[in-house]
Amino acid sequence: MSNKVLVIGAGGVSNVVVKKCAQNSEVFGEILLASRTKSKCDAIAAQVKNIPVHTAQVDADNLAEVAALIKDFKPKMVINVALPYQDLAIMDACLQEGVDYLDTANYEPKDVAKFEYSWQWAYHERFKDAGIMALLGSGFDPGVTNVFTAYAKKHHFDRMDTLDIVDCNNGDHGKAFATNFNPEINIREITQNGRYYKDGQWIEIPALSVKADIDYPEVARRGSYVLFHEELESLVKHFPEIKQARFWMTFGEEYIKHLTVLQNVGMTGIKPVKFQGTEVVPLEFLKALLPEPSSLGEGYSGKTCIGCQITGQKDGQDKTYFVYNVSDHAEAFKEVGGQAIAYTTGVPAMLGAAMMLTNKWRGAGVFNMEQFDPDPFMDELAKWGLPWSEIHGSDALLVSV
C-alpha cells in the first residue's frame, strides 16, 4: 500500500508524525509536508530516508492555498498538526477537494479562549454527504484517552459512572519557564476557568482552584489540577451513562509562580494592546520570547504518565479500573529527536491515520475516536512506541471519586 498524505504543520508533533509515518511504510508511501515556514519542513524532511517527503509553503488559514496543494498532490487524506485556529479552513479545503481529514486538537477561535467541538461537529452532514471522513482529536489527550475509555467500556464495564483523565509530565527540561507544546495554545488552555461534568451539567471553577495529590504509577506523586479538556465533551456525549468526568494535569510550583506573575502583568492576554503605535497581542509576544517546544528534546529527562481512572459496575459488582501509558523523554529524543509530549501526540496521529487508510476505522461524516472499535488501535499502540498497562481494583483508585 502506498498511500499519499498531506501533513500540515512543522512543529514538534509534526516531526514525530512524519517520522512515524515513514516507519510505517506498509501504509504510508509518500508525504507532502507543508507549513508557513518551508525551512522547518525541509529540516524534518532531510531526516527521513525510507519514503519520499516533499515540502511546500502554505498559509493554513487560506482555504484556497490548502485546496490548491490538495488538488496538486492528490493525497488520500490530510493530517492537520497546525494550529487549532486553522482547523476549519483545512476542513473546508478537504470538503472542497473530497479528501479525508484528521487533527489532534479541536478548533478554537483566535480571539476567544474557548474550547468546544460545536464548530467541527457542525460539519458532520457536509462530510457525510461528500462521502468523506473527519477524525477529530487523534492525539493522546484527546485521542488515546478517548480510546482508553471506549476500551474500558467494551471489555471491563457494563456501566461507567465516573471518569478521571490524569496527565502527569514529571520531566525536567532545565528551563526556568517553558511549555511542552505551542505556548500560545498551552497558556490559553490553563489560564481559562476550569470545568468538569457532573450529573448532566458542567460545573465551572476558577483556573487551577481544585488540586489533588496523585500517585502516578512508575513516575511520581504530583500535585494535579482540574482543567477543562475537550475530550470530556465528546466522551460524555458518546457515553451518556457517565455521571462525573474530570481532567487533571500536573504543574510544578515554579511553573505556576511564573504563570501567575505573567498573568498579573497582562502578558497572557489575547486582546491586542497599543505599543509605540503598533498593535501587539501580549500572548503572541510572550510566545516569541519562550523556548520553541521542539527545541526542548535534547537533555530532557524524566517521564510522562497519562491515563484514565474509571469507576462503575461489571456483572453487578462495583469496579475501579486504571489504564495508562508511561513515556520517557530521553527515549523519545533518542528515537525521533523530540520530547515525550510531542511523541505521545504524534504517534496516535499517525496511528489514527493508519486506521482510516486501512479501513479499520471508516465512516462518512465527522467522528471522535471513541466512536470506533478500540481494539485495533489498542493492538497497535505498543508496537509504535506507546505501551499501555492496566490496574484493577482498589490500587486503581488514584483520585478520590
Mean pLDDT by 10 residues, the chain (401 residues): 92 96 97 98 96 98 98 98 95 98 92 86 98 98 98 98 97 70 69 93 95 96 95 98 97 75 80 89 81 70 96 98 97 95 97 98 98 98 98 96 90
| pLDDT value of residue 161 | 98
**How many other CB atoms are there within 10 angstroms of residue 61's CB atom?**
16
Q: Give dist(CA 29, CA 115) in Å, integer.
A: 34
Beta bridge partners of 390: 323
| pLDDT value of residue 123 | 98
Q: Give dist(CA 299, CA 180) in Å, integer.
A: 14
| pLDDT value of residue 86 | 96
| pLDDT value of residue 115 | 80
| pLDDT value of residue 280 | 87
Three-state secondary-structure class, residue 79: strand
* Cis-peptide into 142, omega within 30 deg: yes
Residue that has been written with the C-alpha cell 477537494 in this structure:
97
| pLDDT value of residue 252 | 74
Measure the N-to-C terminal CA separation of the chain; round to a whole number of Å: 47
Q: Give dist(CA 345, CA 338) in Å, integer.
A: 11
Q: Which amino acid is residue 235, in one-letter code? A: L
| pLDDT value of residue 145 | 98
**144-328+387-396 belongs to CATH 3.40.50.2000:** no
* Contact present, 99 and 77 (Cβ < 8 Å): yes
| pLDDT value of residue 183 | 67
Q: Would you kindly state where each structural domain of the chain is located, as residue ranges?
A: 144-328+387-396
